[in-house]
Amino acid sequence: MIIRKYKESDREQLKDISVICIDGMSVDQNIEGLYGHIAGKDWRYRKRCQIETDIDTNAKGIFVAEINRSVIGFISTRLNHATKVGWISNFCVLPENQRKGIGRKLFDRAVAYFESEGMECVRIETLDYNDICLHFYPKLGLKEVARQVNFAMPIPRR
């Protein structure tokens, strides 16, 4: 298993992996459960768009886990140089490859990147029912600092 920098040829695989890993743990999926598709697009489409944004915003801060030339996970990051906070925007390891130390290696690579960019704090978010992350993140040294509630509603047509 290796951790390497993102390559453009990874783009579709990262989007596919994110949809697999986030299934059941997505705010957009919850919105869809209440209101159906928005603009004819499902939550998977919106998740794939989020990965596109990560790539377009900070491709050099995306690190990929690979086994035998197959992408099995990734971590994407964003930087705020003004506040010195590095944000992990997406963190995915395919279910069959979890609990093998891959997430830890991806996280360590992201932290090293943040350090090289002068960041002083790491930030990541998860949903309060994502038991895997709620258990895993403290093992990485992260501490819960707040809980957030998301609200949504369709905009009425006039």
Three-class DSSP category at 101: coil
Determine the length of the chain.
158
b/e code 72-99 from CB counts within 10 Å (16+ = b): bbbbbbbbeeeeeebbbbbbbbbeebbe
- Going from N- to C-terminal start, the domains of the chain cover 2-139
Does domain 2-139 fall under CATH 3.40.630.30? My reply is: yes
Q: What is the pLDDT of residues 94-138, one digit of tens each?
A: 999 999 999 999 999 999 999 999 999 999 999 999 999 999 999
pTM: 0.94
Residue ranges of E strands in 6-120: 62-67, 70-80, 85-93
